[in-house]
Structure 1
């Protein structure tokens, strides 16, 4: 299992406490709620992601004087043997633009960093929404975006340095100005007016953005609509998907699809769309599916204890899940 996922557990627990909703809700701020150790580890993970750009080069943006710079100005790229892209960040160029007031953005970092993928999957499971994670770095005393409203809800996780967030007078529950320090986590409801200012020091924060499906959480969609919106999570079940005899009580897994459908009241089965077809899952495993959707890794032994199902039966469910594309390995 990826150590990046294990080290991210503290943030995942904090997200549980915020009572996140994709539409509505109130501004909430928890100052320094993450430990220094956890904050430093997370910061290291995302700084490292900038240093190993790879094929994610189109997700790296530098916004300077209100405009996106061309990637050639801050990235070097060459195509090597086997048509593999080798991309690196021009550190000195980035440093120059940061000092001049630019903002460096890693868009949809959840597509490239397992820790961010774990955040995305946790929020989707908690809220029934679509989620994506952005990473922002600034250094100067300036604002890149001015006062604006986003058409989705989001959570801010401050990892390095301080950053000032300014709020419009009509923002309920929020101060006119809030300075976030490392370890602070804040929830902003959809359409909250805000302006973000650097304070002349290196700053990094994550934005965990999420929105519903046409204004609804997944669980409120009609069956046909829910099936079309279901997304398979990145990853695979290998080698367990082709050799279930390798599965034991310590084999970790996570759900391979983004959401768990509703179970009709009184129904003996839960119909789960796996992406390749519909699977009939006994209704008593509904809590197991929700546990697998929420956690970045769960073993049969853990699921057995949490859901009160015999471990032998849980091992059979693990084999069924991997064999039929319902379970994936933890993100690596």
Structure 2
């Protein structure tokens, strides 16, 4: 993915989530589902830019490096002690070596935990290009977090965030419930609120302070 590709991809997503003359988050809670690919394309596969971003996720998982503190595991609303699922040591030259513990992570995520990678843009250049393209087009500070979930329960339950969010589903499926009232913090969503399973390539805009709940689909 080049800088031009990232700019064009960001523009396509933002335009799809917006309204004429309005870009997210001003356009409110909005959902965009990418058109289906060719009939012979593998089921559940996202488009080429999304596949490039997904490769960045795999790279980050394989090499947490010195930014290991950007990783956290959340289960039932609480962070799991990092020593259970990550191994670290300081080698010669004060170099920090880290590695994830796959067996523990797999078991925890299957139970309903969520692995969070904060500031993924600091770990992959292609993610950084997309992040910068979004910043340029929205005239706002942006960063990229990655959430890996498998179970059908929610690690965070109903909550709201202090920042606007653009969600891009890269792999698998996630169940999103988002209150249609922008700024609403109620645990009970209003009638007609968004209740949707996101497939790869689906994008969603959730303005700040809007209550939502996310889970895997089992």
> What TM-score do you get using the length of structure 1 for normalisation?
0.54
Range moving further from structure 2, 34-43 or 133-142: 34-43
SS in 1 for 2:145: strand
The match for 2:34 is 32
Give the equivalent residue in structure 2 for 1:210: none
**Map of 1:194 onto structure 2:** 212
Q: Which residue of 2 aligns with 1:285?
A: none
Shift of residue 120 of structure 1?
Answer: 2.0
Secondary structure of 1:190 counterpart:
coil
Are 1:117 and 2:128 counterparts?
A: yes
CA shift digits 1:287-331 (9 cap, x unpaired): xxxxxxxxxxxxxxxxxxxxxxxxxxxxxxxxxxxxxxxxxxxxx
d(CA) in 2 for partners of 1:74 and 1:91? 8
- CA RMSD, 1 decimal: 2.5
In 1: Cα distance, 2:99 partner to 2:2 partner: 22
Please list the CA deviations of residues 57-101 of structure 1 after superposition, one character each: whole Å capped at 9, or x if unmatched. Answer: 000000012211121111111112211111111111110111111
Contact 1:64 1:101 in 2 (8 A): yes
**Secondary structure, aligned partner of 1:58:** helix
Pairs within 5 Å for 1:45-60: 45-60=56-71
Structure 1: gaps (5+ residues) = 201-332
Q: Is the 8 A contact 2:161 2:210 kept in 1?
A: yes
Tell me the secondary structure at the aligned position of residue 140 of structure 1: coil
Instruction: Number of aligned residue pairs: give it.
Output: 197
1:12 counterpart residue number: 10
8 Å contact from structure 2 (residues 177, 194) kept in 1: yes
- CA separation in 1, counterparts of 2:36 and 2:95? 38
* Aligned-pair CA distance for 1:5: 5.6
**Equivalent position of 1:88 in the other structure:** 99
Distance 2:191 2:63 in 1: 40
How much does 1:4 deviate?
7.0
Cα distance in 1 between the residues matched to 2:95 and 2:4: 30
Which of 69, 82, 85 matches 1:71?
82
136-145 vs 9-18, which moves further = 9-18
Q: In the superposition, relative to structure 1, how do residues 140 and 109 fare at CA in structure 2: closer, same or farther (>3 Å)?
A: same
1:163 shift after superposition: 0.5
- Answer whether contact 2:6 2:133 (CA < 8 A) is retained: no
Q: Which structure's relative contact order is higher, taking Cα pairs within 8 Å and 6+ residues apart?
A: 2
Q: Alignment partner of 2:208: what SS?
A: coil
* Range 169-178 or range 183-192, more displaced: 169-178
The superposition leaves residues 101-130 of structure 1 with CA deviations (integer Å, 9 ceiling, x where unpaired) of 100000111222212211221122112211
2:196 corresponding residue in structure 1: 178
> Which blocks of at least 5 consecutive residues in structure 2 are unaligned?
38-45, 183-189
